[in-house]
Amino acid sequence: MNRITPMPAEITATETGLYVPMKSGVPAYFNFYWLRDNCPTSFNTTTRERTFDIFELDAEPVAKRADVVGDELIIEWVSEDHVTHLPLATLEAYANGARRSDPADLARVAWYGDHYPDVTRFTFDALVDDKANQEAWLRAMLIEGISVIQEMPDNDQALTDLVNLMGVVRPTFFGNYFDVRTHINPTNTAFTAAALELHTDVPAEEFAPGIQFLHMRQNSVKGGLNLFGDGVAAANDFRAAHPEDFRLLAETEIPFYCEHDDYDMRSYQRVIELDHHGEVAGLTISQHMLDMIDLPQAELDAYYPAFCRFGRFLQSDKYIMKFTLQAGECIVFDNHRIVHGRAAYSATSGERYLRGTYADRAEMRSSYRALVSEGRFKS
Ligand SMILES: [Fe+2]
**Distance, CA 200 to ligand 1 centroid (Å)?**
6
51: domain CATH number is 3.30.2020.30
Where a domain ends, among 59, 94, 129?
94
**Distance, CA 220 to ligand 1 centroid (Å)?**
20
| One domain, residues 124 and 65 | no
Contact status, residue 280 vs residue 319, Cβ threshold 8 Å: no
Q: Tell me if the bond preceding 6 is cis, omega within 30° of 0.
A: yes
**Distance, CA 234 to ligand 1 centroid (Å)?**
19
Characterise 375 by phi-psi region: left (phi > 0), alpha (psi -120 to 50), beta (else): left
| One domain, residues 137 and 21 | no
**Distance, CA 201 to ligand 1 centroid (Å)?**
5
124: domain CATH number is 3.60.130.10
| One domain, residues 208 and 248 | yes
| One domain, residues 125 and 253 | yes
> By residue range, what is the domain housing residue 184?
116-372
**Distance, CA 164 to ligand 1 centroid (Å)?**
21
**Distance, CA 325 to ligand 1 centroid (Å)?**
14
In a domain, 105, yes or no: no
Q: How far apart are CA 209 and CA 233, in angstroms?
A: 21
In a domain, 2, yes or no: no
Query: How many folded domains does the chain comprise?
Result: 2
Q: What is the pLDDT along the chain (379 residues), one digit of tens a residue?
A: 445 544 555 899 999 999 999 999 899 999 999 999 999 999 999 999 999 999 999 999 999 999 999 999 999 999 999 999 999 999 999 999 999 999 999 999 999 999 999 999 999 999 999 999 999 999 999 999 999 999 999 999 999 999 999 999 999 988 999 998 864 344 555 555 677 899 999 999 999 999 999 999 998 877 778 999 999 999 999 999 999 999 999 999 999 999 999 999 999 999 999 999 999 999 999 999 999 999 999 999 999 999 999 999 999 999 999 999 999 999 999 999 999 998 876 656 678 899 999 999 999 999 999 999 988 776 5
**Distance, CA 194 to ligand 1 centroid (Å)?**
13
Q: How far apart are CA 287 and CA 276, in angstroms?
A: 27
**Distance, CA 345 to ligand 1 centroid (Å)?**
16
Q: For residue 57, what are the CA distances in angstroms to 51, 81, 315? A: 13, 12, 59
| One domain, residues 60 and 146 | no
**Distance, CA 80 to ligand 1 centroid (Å)?**
58
**Distance, CA 215 to ligand 1 centroid (Å)?**
13
In a domain, 379, yes or no: no
Where a domain ends, among 94, 126, 153?
94
**Distance, CA 314 to ligand 1 centroid (Å)?**
16
